[in-house]
Amino acid sequence: MTKYIIKLTITEEGEHNGKVYFMDKQGYICNNLDYIWQEDAYTLTACKAACTRYEKKNTAEVFFERRERARRIAEGKTDSRYPIYEMTTYTPYAIETVN
Protein backbone atom coordinates (compact mmCIF):
# COMPACT_ATOMS: atom_id res chain seq x y z
CA MET A 1 0.00 0.00 0.00
CA THR A 2 1.35 3.41 -0.95
CA LYS A 3 1.18 6.30 1.49
CA TYR A 4 2.49 9.81 1.05
CA ILE A 5 4.49 12.36 2.99
CA ILE A 6 5.27 15.95 2.07
CA LYS A 7 8.54 16.78 0.34
CA LEU A 8 9.75 20.35 0.99
CA THR A 9 12.20 21.95 -1.42
CA ILE A 10 13.73 25.35 -0.67
CA THR A 11 13.53 27.49 -3.82
CA GLU A 12 14.76 30.78 -2.35
CA GLU A 13 18.09 32.02 -3.66
CA GLY A 14 20.68 31.69 -0.93
CA GLU A 15 22.61 29.16 1.09
CA HIS A 16 19.62 26.78 1.50
CA ASN A 17 18.59 26.80 -2.18
CA GLY A 18 17.75 23.30 -3.40
CA LYS A 19 17.78 21.60 0.02
CA VAL A 20 15.15 18.91 0.44
CA TYR A 21 13.32 17.98 3.64
CA PHE A 22 10.44 15.64 4.43
CA MET A 23 7.43 16.31 6.67
CA ASP A 24 4.96 13.79 8.05
CA LYS A 25 1.37 14.25 9.17
CA GLN A 26 2.42 15.33 12.67
CA GLY A 27 4.53 18.20 11.29
CA TYR A 28 7.88 16.53 12.02
CA ILE A 29 10.49 17.75 9.53
CA CYS A 30 13.73 15.92 8.80
CA ASN A 31 16.10 15.32 5.93
CA ASN A 32 16.31 11.54 6.37
CA LEU A 33 13.45 9.22 5.45
CA ASP A 34 14.55 6.69 8.08
CA TYR A 35 13.11 8.97 10.78
CA ILE A 36 9.60 9.13 9.29
CA TRP A 37 7.00 6.79 10.81
CA GLN A 38 4.79 5.01 8.30
CA GLU A 39 1.75 5.54 10.52
CA ASP A 40 2.15 9.30 10.11
CA ALA A 41 1.69 9.25 6.32
CA TYR A 42 -1.17 10.69 4.28
CA THR A 43 -3.41 9.30 1.58
CA LEU A 44 -2.78 10.93 -1.80
CA THR A 45 -5.82 13.23 -1.66
CA ALA A 46 -5.07 14.39 1.89
CA CYS A 47 -1.42 14.94 1.01
CA LYS A 48 -2.29 17.11 -1.99
CA ALA A 49 -4.66 19.18 0.15
CA ALA A 50 -2.01 19.63 2.85
CA CYS A 51 0.60 20.63 0.25
CA THR A 52 -1.75 23.28 -1.15
CA ARG A 53 -2.51 24.62 2.33
CA TYR A 54 1.18 24.82 3.32
CA GLU A 55 2.14 26.39 -0.03
CA LYS A 56 -0.43 29.19 0.36
CA LYS A 57 0.67 29.85 3.94
CA ASN A 58 4.35 29.95 2.96
CA THR A 59 3.69 32.32 0.06
CA ALA A 60 1.80 34.72 2.34
CA GLU A 61 4.52 34.62 5.03
CA VAL A 62 7.28 35.33 2.49
CA PHE A 63 5.25 38.17 0.92
CA PHE A 64 4.55 39.88 4.26
CA GLU A 65 8.13 39.47 5.44
CA ARG A 66 9.49 41.06 2.26
CA ARG A 67 7.01 43.92 2.55
CA GLU A 68 7.95 44.55 6.20
CA ARG A 69 11.64 44.37 5.35
CA ALA A 70 11.20 46.98 2.59
CA ARG A 71 9.24 49.22 4.98
CA ARG A 72 11.92 49.01 7.70
CA ILE A 73 14.69 49.78 5.22
CA ALA A 74 12.71 52.74 3.85
CA GLU A 75 12.41 54.07 7.41
CA GLY A 76 16.20 53.83 7.83
CA LYS A 77 16.18 50.98 10.32
CA THR A 78 18.74 48.21 10.13
CA ASP A 79 17.49 44.81 9.13
CA SER A 80 18.87 41.30 9.26
CA ARG A 81 20.14 40.08 5.93
CA TYR A 82 18.75 36.60 6.57
CA PRO A 83 15.03 36.00 6.00
CA ILE A 84 12.96 34.07 8.52
CA TYR A 85 10.75 32.49 5.86
CA GLU A 86 12.15 31.07 2.64
CA MET A 87 10.11 30.30 -0.46
CA THR A 88 9.40 26.58 -0.39
CA THR A 89 7.58 24.16 -2.66
CA TYR A 90 5.52 21.34 -1.18
CA THR A 91 4.92 18.13 -3.17
CA PRO A 92 3.59 14.66 -2.30
CA TYR A 93 6.30 12.02 -1.94
CA ALA A 94 5.30 8.34 -2.15
CA ILE A 95 6.59 5.86 0.41
CA GLU A 96 5.94 2.15 0.49
CA THR A 97 4.29 0.91 3.66
CA VAL A 98 4.41 -2.61 4.99
CA ASN A 99 1.15 -4.05 6.31
pLDDT tens column, 79-99:
777 777 889 999 999 987 665
Query: Cβ contacts of residue 30 below 8 Å, gap of 6+?
Result: 21, 22, 36
**The amino acid at 12:** E
Q: What is the 3 state secondary structure string of 43-77?
A: CHHHHHHHHHHHHHHHHHHHHHHHHHHHHHHHCCC
Distances in Å between the alpha carbon of 70 and those of 32, 63, 90?
Answer: 36, 11, 27
pTM of the model: 0.82
Instruction: For 20-77, write each residue's pLDDT tens digit.
Output: 999 988 888 888 888 887 788 899 999 999 999 999 999 999 999 989 988 988 998 8
What ranges do the domains of the chain cover? 2-96
By the 8 A CB rule, do 3 and 38 touch? Answer: yes
8 A C-beta contact, residue 98 and residue 10: no
